[in-house]
A and B are shown apart, each in its own frame.
Chain A
């Protein structure tokens, strides 16, 4: 029963940068009961005429195909790509992580941050803010380590993704 297997999909959507376009995409997901695990959006053209939305979702293959088809028929959508099905791709997320603490826990947090190549972008005598970029599971792993060391607040961007090689979405 391969059909009922759930899989995660990273979908890139190139859209006209106009009012309401994000609401259309989100409304489609909520109206039809699809999951959104992560969603990012920003203009990507020099003249800001197009935006790229990256959605991480999950479902059966039939549902993911349906999501693609539903997105594709929205009028302001130029292109829909299921990056996870198209071939190798890169997916990255950035997190700003505030860790509050003193003493041994504080220095342990700093050592682990170094191992994860997280940058310290703010520090006080009782806190650090780390900036960490990477795949979502790397961020998850780092956050798990920080939790006993005084993890206080997290801000994550959600996933931005792009296919490897010379092919483009445009």
Chain B
């Protein structure tokens, strides 16, 4: 016996139990693709209306769409795919969600339990393959466990540090009659993440922060994941303290980019002021960021003079690569609430004079205007990619706008030049750096927010990695705008080849590109193209005016590089500025990259 109490209630098929459990978890949308092993679920879906199924064109896109749905709503995204190739195609999406801490539940079909291990048709060891690709995974071997496992999967996905959870469902489990169980109100047996910060650590942190002369608040995706309340508290805390605030790629939008206390993004392609502040700070407060290598640069030169406070919901993120002085384990909102209360209660007076001096220094760094570029305004001039993003940003102001990206130069320019004032509006593949993320993620956002403006800022190489999802956009009339910065190169690869590999552009040219205008039209979308600077504003306006999917092919300067740049293995104060900054001798000489740095990615 499996230990489950059978009630007098009539049993249902496993597939019906599954859908009932999903409804109990508040699921209204599933992104999926059918196949043999999940036919019973598709049959049950057919006979109900509470849950909407979005048919994607590739299982990887189903996971990214669920990520887009999750990141823009704060809810758990749900994926349904079949066994074997359905599951293996989903793996990239799962790792992407794992790296960026996105709550997703992925339901995979599996061959019937009696065939598992027999190399059956479309069999793969899905739980084995995805063990390191998920926060947790399950193989349901008994019908009696089904409802409990589904509820538990949602609990694990959304609590603690969120992440993807996979449930592998053998076909016989979906057909056999099974009892339903409500979500348990009891705490989980072994999984109990800490969310409330330790008051003693909060007091230590406040003591350091109050005495800080050169402070910095460094925020990450953890603030976004903790919900909009965390962002509100972050604004309250930063204003209360008068501290400067910077953000990782994942954290953009948690603190309003238009606020003068915001220094912009930090790290490899962060602003000069953000990186110089990190380097020179005496007290650093890290909220929900993880000292990623894109942020720290050379570790032994990272913010060498600072006392470091690190608040994170995941204890394994603390002291992983950077040793810190005060470790706070807790949810970002709970931590900020405690910090604000302790700051107000603490009688120590802040050294306002020192802080004012620090801000004067920051303003000097800021005056370098490190994101500067020059757009030739003459008719017929080639479009600078940064200018294209700025014009897009200006044209979308006042509208409820969500931006997704692919991966590469366009992603960095979007992060630098599109200003986010609210959380959950910026969706990009940060940790895994998955080309092909942006289009399906935008699809997921648009499904969740049908009336919002959803734009995938893309490159011409990345967009081709999940271009098949144009079909999904057409089928569900999702008016996603795809804004391609087309420089006919895998631009970031080309940039590294230029700077680090002697201009040998090995395999980074985007040869034989499709005509994106015709491609859009063949997928029932609108295709637009801007070849010269005079076309740009018209194309953007047309794109935004159309209530249909659009591909806007923006032909941009092929030679443009992303600056500032901290070269591999360099420190924050060894940043390279762009050709605009003559004092930096027109940019990069290649000398500051060591062999040690060259091996870094």
Give A residues with C-beta under 8 Å from B: 3, 15-16, 19-20, 23-24, 27, 31, 62, 65-66, 69-70, 72-78
Contact = CB atoms under 8 A, between A and B. Distances in A.
B315 A72 contact: yes
Contact of A27 (B132, B191, B193, B319): B132
Given A77-B190, A78-B190, A69 B316 contact: yes
Given A27-B132, A75-B190, A78-B189, A20 B319 contact: no
B131 A27 contact: yes
A75 B156 contact: yes
B549 to A, nearest CB: 39
Interface in B479-538: none
Interface string B278-321: 00000000000000000000000000000000000011101110
Contacts of A24: 131
Contacts of A70: 316
B190 A23 contact: no
Given A69-B320, A75-B135, 11 more contacts: A3-B323, A20-B131, A23-B131, A65-B319, A66-B319, A66-B320, A73-B161, A73-B314, A75-B156, A76-B191, A77-B190
Contacts of B191: 75-76
B139 interface: yes
B117 interface: no
Contacts of B131: 20, 23-24, 27
B127 A20 contact: yes
B136 A69 contact: no
A65 B320 CA distance: 9
25 contacts: A3-B323, A16-B190, A19-B139, A19-B141, A20-B127, A20-B131, A20-B137, A20-B139, A31-B132, A62-B323, A65-B319, A69-B315, A70-B316, A73-B161, A73-B314, A73-B315, A73-B316, A75-B135, A75-B136, A75-B156, A75-B190, A76-B190, A77-B190, A78-B189, A78-B190
Nearest to A62: B319
A65 B319 CA distance: 8
Given A62-B319, A70-B316, A72-B315, A16 B132 contact: no
Nearest to A14: B190
B541 to A, nearest CB: 49
Interface in B121-150: 127-128, 131-132, 135-137, 139, 141
Contacts of B314: 73
Contacts of A74: 136
Nearest to B136: A75
A152 to B, nearest CB: 36
Contacts of B316: 66, 69-70, 72-73
Nearest to B320: A66
Contacts of A78: 189-190
A120 to B, nearest CB: 42
Given A62-B323, A75-B190, A78-B190, A23 B315 contact: no
A23 B136 CA distance: 12
A3 to B, nearest CB: 8
Contacts of A3: 323
Pick the most buried of A15, A19, A24, A75: most chain B CB atoms within 10 A of its CB.
A75
Nearest to B161: A73
A51 B582 CA distance: 65
Contacts of B132: 27, 31
B319 A16 contact: no
Contacts of A66: 316, 319-320
Nearest to B190: A78
A7 to B, nearest CB: 16
Contacts of B136: 74-75
A31 B130 CA distance: 13
Q: Which of B139, B141, B316 has the most CB of A within 10 A?
A: B316
A74 B316 CA distance: 11
Contacts of B319: 62, 65-66
Contacts of B128: 20, 23
Nearest to B135: A75
B19 to A, nearest CB: 24
A16 B189 contact: yes
B221 to A, nearest CB: 17
A20 B136 CA distance: 11
Contacts of A62: 319, 323
A16 B161 CA distance: 21
A160 B128 CA distance: 27
Instruction: Please provide the 8 A-B residue pairs with the shortest distance between their CB atoms, ordered closest to farther.
Output: A69-B316, A75-B136, A78-B190, A75-B191, A69-B315, A70-B316, A27-B132, A31-B132
Contacts of A19: 139, 141
A74 B135 CA distance: 8
A23 to B, nearest CB: 6
A32 to B, nearest CB: 10
A102 B60 CA distance: 66
B188 to A, nearest CB: 8
Contacts of B193: 73
A70 B316 CA distance: 5
A99 B381 CA distance: 86
A24 to B, nearest CB: 6
A70 B319 CA distance: 12
A78 B192 CA distance: 9
A4 to B, nearest CB: 12
A19 B135 CA distance: 16
A19 B138 CA distance: 9
Contacts of B137: 20
Nearest to B165: A75
Contacts of A31: 132
Contacts of A23: 128, 131
A72 B191 CA distance: 9
Contacts of A73: 160-161, 193, 314-316
